[in-house]
Amino acid sequence: MLGILDYGMGNIFSIKNAAKNIGLESTIISNPEDLKETSSLILPGVGAYGYAMNKLRNNNLIEPILEFIDTGKYILGICLGMQLLVKKSFEFEENDGIGVLEGECIKFRNISDQKIIVPHTMWNKIKISRNKSDRIGIFDKIDDESFFYFVHSYYVQKQVIDEVISIASYNDIEFCSAFQKENVIGLQFHPEK
């Protein structure tokens, strides 16, 4: 059964409804022991990186998440959940993440004379990297340059992650919109929208 991790920082009911709409049975879990009973896991997230990592630490969830990943079962991080899977973030201050991937999250900043509006809140198109032969095919039935809903102020830098499977662009800044490292998948956008 699909587990949706409730650590106090996610839009868990939107994700549960989306899973139901596509015929997936899911359960909301919050205890480390419950991870053993799930066949795959969604790590949602809305909010601040440091606060979310503290919630995971205080609920003794980091080691069980890493153990879950080591079993080979799939984990999907959505939005902040994706960002938590990388090594660190610079949101407000430097914060260590779960560290499954060697990535960093940084804030959108102006790189031209055009003022950037943060957060990046809009439907935006993604460019899919189709040359990744070892992927499970999450984009197999998705057209390149399809639109997905984004709402975030920080992003995973595409140039520091080898596992990037799609990118998006906001005000001339290209960023990682999805990654996959074996059984670990991250989506910066909200597929439940």
Place of tokens 């079993």: 71
Q: Is position 193 within any domain?
A: no
| Whole-number pLDDT of residue 117 | 85
**Owning domain of residue 63:** 2-187
| Whole-number pLDDT of residue 133 | 47
- Condensed to tens digits (0 to 9), the pLDDT of residues 104-122 reads 999 998 666 678 888 999 9
Number of domains in the chain: 1
- Contact at 8 Å (CB) between 56 and 41? no
Would you say the pTM of this structure is higher than 0.85? Answer: yes
Instruction: Assign residue 117 the CATH number of its domain.
Output: 3.40.50.880
Q: Is position 192 within any domain?
A: no
Q: Is position 40 within any domain?
A: yes
Q: Which residues of the chain have pLDDT under 70?
A: 110-113, 130-136, 160
Q: Is position 122 within any domain?
A: yes
Residues with active-site annotation: 79, 190, 192
- Among 97, 95, 110, smallest CA distance to 66 is for 97
Beta-sheet strands, E only, within 30-161: 40-43, 74-78, 86-89, 95-96, 101-107, 120-128, 147-152, 154-156
